[in-house]
Structure 1
Amino acid sequence: MLISEFMTDQQLVEGCRQGDRCAQRQLFEQFQRIMYSTVYRITNDEDDAHDVLQEGFIQVFKDIGQFRGVGSLGGWIKTIMVRKALRKIQHEKRYEPLLPDSTAAIIWPDDLSGEVLDQAIREIPAKCRAVFLLIEVEGYAHREVADMLSISEGTSKSQLHYAKQLLRIKLKSWYV
């Protein structure tokens, strides 16, 4: 099959199972940008993100025979990438101490930019950052995140709550 031809996910999977380099290249090109974005936001380091991306796609091509077509191919690849990114940063503490409840409403300035918010997100611990990004940015449900990260749904919820507390505290310290 020519590389310029568009292959469906099913054709990509079958081509990769057979070791077709064109299928592998197309799969990589189709998913590498979004996967890099995901792993970079988790690792918070360009070099680590490139390493994770490379290791992740090696794992994808090695395990492509395990993809059963339940759910999307992109979701299956993202699960591999997120788990690789979390392993890369596993030296960080698994659970962070709870913070005092800071649920009081905060009025943010009108000049709060996406760049400032992105910087604040990058400064929270990796494990709760991963949960925050997967739920609040990527739109996954707690059950999906729990499955993806091999954690309980309750842990997903508590890590999201913790991430929001940290963001609130960090942004409040920058603007108050």
Structure 2
Amino acid sequence: MRTFTLNETERALVEGCLQQNRKSQEQLYQRYKDAMYTLSYRITQDFELAQDVLQEAFLAVFRGIHSFRQESTLGAWIKTIVVRTAYKKVKKQAPTESLEAVIRQEPIDWGDYLDAEYLEQAIQGLPPGYRSVFVLIEIEGYSHKEVAATLGISVGTSKSQLYYAKRHLQRTIKALGIRS
């Protein structure tokens, strides 16, 4: 395993958090909260739920800081906790669309023009499992192997969820009236 070296600020924050120093915890939270909230919102598509995820995730960070082994950057370690927390929340919130319903859909051409607002609406409309995998792979740049490890699913499930997410997006975009 590769070990990452923390910069002085991060090393001091981790040490302070290990000692349960409230000031260090607040500084760590302030340093990462915006990026982690954005990621949480992308997965949950709900402002309040994203805030709940952020709070739960940082509590988990502070409780589990002793397990941070520097096998990734501090930000990547926190991101993994946020993603797992968000995924658990959305999984509880809504059932996923049945696979059979998705399989029966005909392939749809994306067209030549796609407005960012329409794409954002389409992503928000994805079932939670599809949205989580889509956001992690297509927006955050994770690999299928990383998504599988982060979400506790198989690589095959990650690939199929991404495939069906893209199919769902195609149908949604067609329904929104996007034409080439």
Runs of 4 or more consecutive aligned structure 1 residues displaced over 4 Å after TM superposition: 101-104
CA contact (8 A) 2:148 2:154 kept: yes
Structure 2 residues without counterparts, runs of 5 or longer: 1-6
Supply the AA of the counterpart residue of 1:129: R
| In structure 2, distance between residues paired with 1:22 and 1:126 | 35
Structure 1 residues without counterparts, runs of 5 or longer: 1-5
1:104 to 1:127, Cα distance in 2 relative to 1, 3 A: closer
TM-score normalised by L of structure 2:
0.86
Superposed CA deviations along residues 33-55 of structure 1, whole A, max 9, x for unmatched, are: 11101111111111111111111
Q: Select which of 105, 108, 115 maps to 2:112.
A: 108
Superposed CA deviations along residues 57-111 of structure 1, whole A, max 9, x for unmatched, are: 11110110011000111111111111111221223235631324654543233xx
| In structure 2, distance between residues paired with 1:65 and 1:125 | 35
Q: Select which of 141, 149, 152 maps to 2:151.
A: 149
1:7 to 1:20, Cα distance in 2 relative to 1, 3 A: farther
Which residues in structure 2 correspond to 1:149-168 (within 5 Å)?
149-168=151-170
Report the identity percentage. Answer: 45
1:53 matched residue in structure 2: 54
TM-score normalised by L of structure 1:
0.88
2:136 matched residue in structure 1: 134
The worse-fitting range, judged by mean Cα deviation, of 18-27 and 141-150 is: 18-27
Number of aligned residues:
169
Q: CA RMSD of the aligned region, Å?
A: 1.8
Supply the AA of the counterpart residue of 1:16: C
> What is the DSSP-based 3-state SS (H/G/I as helix, E as strand, rest coil) of the residue aligned with 2:98?
coil
1:123 matched residue in structure 2: 125
2:77 matched residue in structure 1: 76
The worse-fitting range, judged by mean Cα deviation, of 10-19 and 46-55 is: 10-19
Which residues in structure 2 correspond to 1:79-94 (within 5 Å)?
79-91=80-92, 92-93=94-95
